[in-house]
Structure 1
Amino acid sequence: MRRHRTAVGILLTVGAVFTGGLVQAGAADAAPAPAPAATPAAVHTASATEQHRARTFWTAERMREATPLDPELTERAALTLKAPTSHGSASSVAATPAVASFPQAGGPWTGGGAVVTTSGRVFFTFQGRTASCTGDAITSQNASTVITAGHCVKYQGSWHTNWVFVPGYDNGNAPYGQWTAAKTLTTPQWEASEDINYDVGTAVVAPLNGRTLTSVVGAQGIQFNGGYNKPMYSFGFPAASPYDGTKLIYCSGDSSKDFLFSQDHSLGCNMTGGSSGGPWFTGFNEATGTGLQVSVNSFGYTFLPNRMFGPYFGDVVKALYDKAQTS
């Protein structure tokens, strides 16, 4: 994952559920101060030519060779992200999480469930090199929306190109296909100044073989304004040492609010670069691999190893989600 905060050197690099998920705007513990008034999300549209190029660009070899967006920063941050999770039904919150592996500071996800197919690696070209992040398929009106980190769609003033989502990535294989972005979007705050509190991005992917993304891999639910200090599960495909991007990794434990420089969630986790954009779930059920997504892997502080941070999903992120799901 890749995140930074103005005046602070913090960083990580960037790097999905059957049956429809739930979108829930809920009350919460210690919600943050009111967010800025929602303004239109920043949008980049890929032309038909660009989409065709992306479809043919990502060979198995290129996917294996793709590196985290900022490996040197991720290594300094000493953060690693892990396995994906999934969400509940369209009418109810996912069941209480199982406790067999709670807490977990980081390790391969050996369970099954929807998270195995809704989570995947994100691949793109950044400044002439191939790079990777993580993403998650979420419930949406267009059945084609992927959520990830803002720096996984746009960074240093440039939108990434050759952007594809590979759900269920398996060491160079794409068992559910490569889904090309027709549009990528991010929050106005990330677009304007790369404000770490709003490091969230989305992609609307084009149909593949006549089918939409979530009709193939399922979709996780999503929750806004859910508060802090919750049991959480985080998933990702970290690709910086000691990980290599081949496995879905996860972390779990009681989250807290960052008490230093951001309004983000905090979780004990050793995921590294490439995990950026991976989903954080509350109410995660280990048996079904579903939960409600409330954040994404975003950054880590170099002086706080083995802790990961993710942005709070408030009104600004809801506006981004609404724009994406209706595009």
Structure 2
Amino acid sequence: MRRHRTAAGILLAVGALFTSGLVGAGTADAASPHTASGQSVPARTVSEAEQHTSRSYWTAERMRGAPSLDLLLTPQAVKQLRTPADSGPTTTVEPTAAPASFPQAGAAWTGDGAVVKTSGRVFFTFQGRTASCSGNAVTSRNASTVITAGHCVKYQGSWHTNWIFVPAYSNGSAPYGQWSATELLTTPQWEASEDINHDVAAAVVAPLDGRTLTSVVGAQGIQFNGGYNKPMYAFGFPAAAPYDGTKLIYCSGNSSRDFLFTRDHSLGCNMTGGSSGGPWFTGFSEAAGTGLQVSVNSFGYTFLPNRMFGPYFGNEAKALYDEAQAA
């Protein structure tokens, strides 16, 4: 998640929910547009050689050692966020019935259920440095689709390399293996201008030991155009203080629509760098650990340190998902 600050012209410091350290970057394959639902979906196909390199590259030590990327950003990372013309009116949260645990601003998930296995940490190299995000396995025709944030596959004009998904990550261990990407996809809006309203991405991962991802770890449902102002659960692997990337963290509470500059979801949450791309669920069952994914951890404002924002899954996100699950 990136933390933004306001200033004249609404200048925003682009920073964080992903983490990073030093390494050599891999060579990116050429990106090619795909077509889904009448919309061009930017994608990068990953070669088999890079897939093999990715799996061997990510040792337990490297996974544990990734610091927060926002500590490495330079003044050139400052950009302007333009208020969308179709932001719409401010909305308020209607009181709704919620589990007894509501609200939860950020704590280790001590429950069990499907979310423990479907969510995981994402690792990649970004402009010569190691980095991490979060992601989640969703139901799909290819049984191999991971949903994450747009900046977790492409950032500052560059597609990430050495990309892997580690479900149920725990302090350097990969109990269900490291799943290397065969294809990375994002929305046209994120690819063109890093539009924060469309900070969504998908990865298709290769089979491991002859099995597909969701046949091993299961999958969460996904929903599009589901509306605003609902009880939500958000999950991720924040790696910046006060967290260290070793545990699955969650927040819960009643969500609202961003009343400032975007049309995104808003939730009380103190997750930090590394949790970007982690799933937001509606209709979440604490007992079963299942829900419908409707967003991902994306960004925050520096003057609202305990709120997190995630993109609304509309038609653009559905086109992305449709293309990914067909790959």
Supply the distance in 1 between the matched residues of 2:222 and 2:182 (Cα, whole angstroms).
Answer: 22
Which residue identity is paired with 2:12? Answer: G
Supply the distance in 2 between the matched residues of 1:123 and 1:109 (Cα, whole angstroms).
Answer: 21
SS state at 1:67 partner: coil
Deviation at 1:13, TM superposition (A): 2.4
Supply the distance in 1 between the matched residues of 2:144 and 2:278 (Cα, whole angstroms).
Answer: 17
TM-score by length of 2: 0.83
Supply the distance in 2 between the matched residues of 1:286 and 1:12 (Cα, whole angstroms).
Answer: 31
Alignment CA distance shift 1:4-1:210 (3 Å): farther
The answer to whether the 8 Å contact 2:187/2:320 transfers is yes
2:165 maps to 165
Supply the distance in 1 between the matched residues of 2:14 and 2:176 (Cα, whole angstroms).
Answer: 31
1:177 maps to 177
The answer to whether the 8 Å contact 1:68/1:133 transfers is no
Supply the distance in 1 between the matched residues of 2:97 and 2:209 (Cα, whole angstroms).
Answer: 35
Q: In the TM superposition, what are the counterparts of 1:110-121 in structure 2 within 5 Å? A: 110-121=110-121
Supply the distance in 2 between the matched residues of 1:208 and 1:2 (Cα, whole angstroms).
Answer: 32
TM-score by length of 1: 0.83
Alignment CA distance shift 1:97-1:202 (3 Å): farther
Deviation at 1:12, TM superposition (A): 5.2
Which residue identity is paired with 1:301? Answer: Y
1:306 maps to 306
Deviation at 1:4, TM superposition (A): 6.3
1:9 maps to 12
SS state at 2:191 partner: helix
Supply the distance in 2 between the matched residues of 1:251 and 1:266 (Cα, whole angstroms).
Answer: 12
User: Are 1:297 and 2:297 counterparts?
Assistant: yes
Instruction: Show structure 1 runs of 4+ deviating over 4 A.
Output: 3-7
**Paired residues, number:** 284
Supply the distance in 2 between the matched residues of 1:255 and 1:188 (Cα, whole angstroms).
Answer: 26
The answer to whether the 8 Å contact 1:181/1:206 transfers is yes
Alignment CA distance shift 1:62-1:164 (3 Å): same
1:122 maps to 122
Specify the structure having the higher radius of gyration (Cα): 2
2:272 maps to 272
The answer to whether the 8 Å contact 1:42/1:187 transfers is yes
Which residue identity is paired with 1:67? Answer: P
Which residue identity is paired with 1:246? Answer: T
Q: In the TM superposition, what are the counterparts of 1:30-179 in structure 2 within 5 Å? A: 39-71=39-71, 99-179=99-179
User: Are 1:204 and 2:204 counterparts?
Assistant: yes
Deviation at 1:10, TM superposition (A): 5.3
2:234 maps to 234
Deviation at 1:97, TM superposition (A): 8.7
SS state at 1:300 partner: strand
SS state at 1:225 partner: coil
Alignment CA distance shift 1:69-1:290 (3 Å): same
Alignment CA distance shift 1:314-1:148 (3 Å): same
Supply the distance in 1 between the matched residues of 2:282 and 2:169 (Cα, whole angstroms).
Answer: 23
1:77 maps to none
Which residue identity is paired with 1:49? Answer: A
Larger RCO, structure (CA 8 Å, separation 6 or more): 1
SS state at 2:101 partner: coil
Deviation at 1:98, TM superposition (A): 6.5
Supply the distance in 2 between the matched residues of 1:238 and 1:8 (Cα, whole angstroms).
Answer: 25
Q: What's the CA shift string for 1:95-128, capped at 9, x where partnerless?
A: x997131110110000000000000000000111
Sequence identity of aligned pairs in percent?
77
2:243 maps to 243
Which residue identity is paired with 1:60? Answer: A
The answer to whether the 8 Å contact 1:295/1:312 transfers is yes
1:89 maps to none
